[in-house]
Amino acid sequence: MLRFETLNELTLRVTCSGRDMLFAKAGAFIAGENAGEKNYRFEKVLLGPQNNLGQAIFGSLARRFTGENIPLMKVELNGDSATYYAYYGQHVVVYQLAPGETISVESENILAFSQECDYSLRFIGVGMLSQKGLATTTLTGRGQNSFVAVLSDGNPIVISNVYSHSTISADPDAVICWVGNGNCNPKVTADVSWKTFIGQTSGESYQFEWNGSQPVTVIMQPSERSGGIKVSMD
């Protein structure tokens, strides 16, 4: 059994009781401890974490085509231990998925996830509007120990409409992930007019939008990826 928790906001600690396995961003391991001889090892994931070979090959090709590819390693834990993971001082957010709950996350923001998460790729068809967004990586909880750790460039911002049923809008280049059921994909709204073509754009010409009938929790970072399209006329 695994337990994910954050230390000092910047480090993930994974505590293992017995034998288990997780997937982590390649090179993210920083330390580990256990009684006796070291009882954990790392193995590069060549195609993907799917158990089915055909799905793994298809998923690998799809991730490479859409830019959602991420180098992963498999961590095999063969006894009680604690291992630690971090990535260039970025903040770490841990989320425990309920069975059937899905997190949609930019691949570059994945730090680690347990083997009880089903891993796949989802197309949402807005890649022409943002550097990211044509496809997103999804992790769906399958058991009681479905943990995901994601990275944030700075302290994350969390907005949820689960109880308020409000409409949420967000810049796609600041969105790390969103959590909900499998049908909580955002709508893309674009604010493009004649002013855009004469250089009078606000810089916020497109957003992700979730309406009040889509219960969702959105996690964002207080910085934006460099990307998107700039439409103007000199």
CATH label of the domain that carries residue 189: 3.60.160.10
pLDDT confidence of residue 163 = 95
Q: Is position 48 within any domain?
A: yes
3-state secondary structure of 185: coil
Is 234 contained in some domain?
no
Number of folded domains in the chain?
A: 1
| Residue 233 belongs to some domain of the structure | no
Average pLDDT per block of 10 residues along the chain, 234 residues long: 96 97 96 96 77 48 51 94 97 95 91 93 57 70 94 95 95 92 81 50 70 94 68 38
57 found inside a domain: yes
Please, what is the Cα angle at 15 between 72 and 50, to 5 degrees? 30
> What does the pLDDT read at residue 205?
63
Does some domain include residue 213?
yes
pLDDT score at 70: 75
Q: What does the pLDDT read at residue 58? A: 45
Residue 230 counted as domain residue: no
Q: In what order do the strands lie in the sheet with 175-180?
A: 117-123, 135-141, 102-105, 175-180, 216-220, 157-160
Domain holding 191, by residue range, is 2-220
pLDDT of 9 reads 95
Residue 228, in any domain of the structure: no
Cα end-to-end distance, the chain, whole Å: 60
pLDDT for residue 109: 93
- State the pTM of this model: 0.81
In a domain, 229, yes or no: no
